[in-house]
């Protein structure tokens, strides 16, 4: 698969067929080759980019950039950029390949190119290791280890500032893409708004407004509209199973997997809203730690919405511009090995918690829920685990009928 190798540093080739943006003088033949390579590799992209690690966690945040090995070539690596949603090609990532400098090969452990003569460089999963004296590993004083540079990118056009104060840029000739300018960081992107365009005046994707998101998990994570979508982080640790509280199926998380809802990144619901889901916590799980149900934390950013359970006590915490509020209640019956429904509602004046259809707790609360750059996730507890130094408290069990609605919850 040497077709996707590139030789000059400027000559990036994006693998995604839906977003192929071949800069300069490219011929049809090349486009066809790229498309074929892309198809051949298609089933691997999500899994492969899932081996990138960012901020101590998996590469799940929209716009995040990570690096990983090239399965076809030890003298190259992949640059994975997390999309805001699954592309037409079925992938969650834009992927570029990049060559290691001559005299170096990819070392997955440090996620960088390292000297050919290093014993750590085994070319596992991308072998065989080129011998010394080959083109990639010439017999001459090898250069120092090199860190992978950020990908050269599309030309930025105009800037805007979104509701959360984050600067973004449109891209010349690419209506659906934008870049994010985090302070003290090279511009991150391109982030794709497909199937919508990026809007400078809104400073976000020009996607329709939703009155809520509903996931029955009957075999698909996709909801109507294709942007109000929640996605599994890696298929290996998120399964559809037939044990279900409602409907035919539910989704099973094995303690490693989670579901990400990118719609809520920098876009927290305004009051009134309510979040409900059915949960079955596996009996094998220790009851000593909090099990995350829904939150919008990144590994290094505290959540502003969190619904969790520990030893049968369910708790909802929200952080608004007026403070932190929390409501909690005790489940009836066993909290493990049984299905329960949890619902948190906030209407701008009251934060309430309902368990199995009955009101468990109500507290006064006010203010707008704070946004952060984390997507909402189901089942992952990375922030708390990072704080406590032991990644063990993500959900092991089933989730069904996740419902996030942007309207007042009226008890039946």
Ligand X SMILES: *[C@@H]1O[C@H](CO)[C@@H](O)[C@H](O)[C@H]1NC(C)=O
Q: Which residues bind ligand X (CB under 6 A)?
A: 158-159, 169, 175, 181, 196-197, 242, 248, 322-323, 364, 366-367
Q: Cα separation of 277 and 343, whole Å? A: 7
Residue 57 or 87: which CB sits closer to ligand X?
87
Q: Cα separation of 155 and 174, whole Å? A: 9
The residues facing 405 across adjacent strands are 212, 274
The answer to whether 196 touches 227, Cβ cutoff 8 Å, is yes
> Whose CB is nearest to ligand X?
175
Minimum CB distance to ligand X, residue 14 (Å): 19
Minimum CB distance to ligand X, residue 342 (Å): 23
Q: Cα separation of 151 and 21, whole Å? A: 14
Q: Where are any strands of DSSP class E within 322-375?
A: 323-330, 339-346, 350-355, 358-364
The tokens of 152 are what?
């050269």
Minimum CB distance to ligand X, residue 392 (Å): 28
List the one residue out of 181, 182, 176 whose CA is nearest residue 194: 176
Minimum CB distance to ligand X, residue 102 (Å): 33
The answer to whether 78 touches 69, Cβ cutoff 8 Å, is yes
Minimum CB distance to ligand X, residue 364 (Å): 6
Can you tell me which residue has the tokens 């992209």?
A: 45
Residue 6 or 240: which CB sits closer to ligand X?
240
Distance in angstroms between the alpha carbons of the first and the last residue of the chain: 60
Minimum CB distance to ligand X, residue 47 (Å): 22
3-state secondary structure of 88: coil
211 CB-contact burial (10 Å; exposed 0-12 / middle 13-18 / buried 19+): exposed
The answer to whether 66 touches 52, Cβ cutoff 8 Å, is yes
Q: Cα separation of 22 and 40, whole Å? A: 19
Minimum CB distance to ligand X, residue 217 (Å): 12
Can you tell me which residue has the tokens 């979508």?
A: 229
Residue 186's alpha-carbon distances to 109, 152, 206, 239, 312, in angstroms, are 24, 11, 24, 36, 45
Minimum CB distance to ligand X, residue 384 (Å): 25
Residue 124 or 248: which CB sits closer to ligand X?
248
């Amino acid at each position: 698969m040497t077709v996707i190798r590139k030789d000059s540093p400027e000559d990036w080739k994006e693998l995604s067929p839906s977003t192929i943006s071949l800069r300069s003088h490219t011929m049809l033949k090349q486009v066809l080759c790229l498309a074929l390579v892309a198809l051949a590799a298609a089933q691997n992209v999500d899994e492969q980019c899932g081996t990138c690690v960012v901020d101590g966690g998996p590469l799940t945040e929209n716009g995040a950039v990570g690096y990983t090995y090239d399965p076809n070539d030890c003298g190259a690596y992949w640059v994975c950029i997390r999309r805001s949603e699954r592309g037409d090609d079925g992938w969650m990532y834009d992927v570029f390949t990049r060559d290691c400098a001559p005299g170096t090969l990819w070392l997955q452990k440090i996620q960088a190119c390292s000297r050919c003569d290093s014993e750590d460089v085994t070319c596992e999963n991308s072998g065989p290791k080129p011998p010394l004296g080959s083109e990639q590993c010439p017999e001459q004083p090898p250069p120092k280890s090199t860190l992978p540079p950020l990908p050269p990118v599309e030309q930025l056009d105009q800037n805007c500032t979104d509701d959360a104060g984050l600067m973004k840029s449109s891209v010349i000739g690419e209506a659906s893409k934008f870049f994010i300018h985090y302070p003290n960081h090279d511009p991150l992107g391109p982030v794709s708004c497909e199937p919508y365009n990026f809007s400078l005046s809104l400073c976000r994707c020009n996607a329709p407004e939703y009155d809520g998101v509903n996931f029955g998990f009957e075999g698909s994570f996709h909801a109507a509209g294709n942007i109000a979508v929640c996605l599994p982080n890696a298929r290996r640790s998120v399964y559809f199973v037939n044990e279900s509280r409602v409907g035919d199926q539910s989704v099973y998380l094995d303690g490693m997997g989670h579901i990400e809802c990118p719609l809520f990144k920098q876009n927290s619901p305004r009051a009134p809203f309510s979040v409900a889901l059915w949960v079955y916590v596996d009996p094998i799980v220790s009851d000593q730690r909090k099990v995350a149900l829904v939150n919008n934390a990144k590994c290094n950013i505290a959540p502003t919405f969190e619904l969790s359970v520990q030893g049968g006590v369910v708790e909802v915490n929200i952080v608004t511009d007026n403070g932190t509020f929390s409501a909690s209640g005790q489940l009836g019956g066993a909290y493990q090995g049984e299905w329960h429904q949890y619902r948190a509602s906030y209407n701008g004046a009251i934060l309430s918690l309902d368990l199995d259809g009955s009101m468990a707790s109500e507290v006064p609360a006010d203010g707008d829920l704070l946004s952060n750059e984390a997507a909402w996730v189901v089942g992952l507890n990375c922030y708390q685990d990072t704080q406590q130094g032991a990644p063990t408290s993500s959900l092991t069990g089933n989730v069904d009928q996740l419902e996030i609605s942007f309207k007042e919850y009226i008890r039946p």
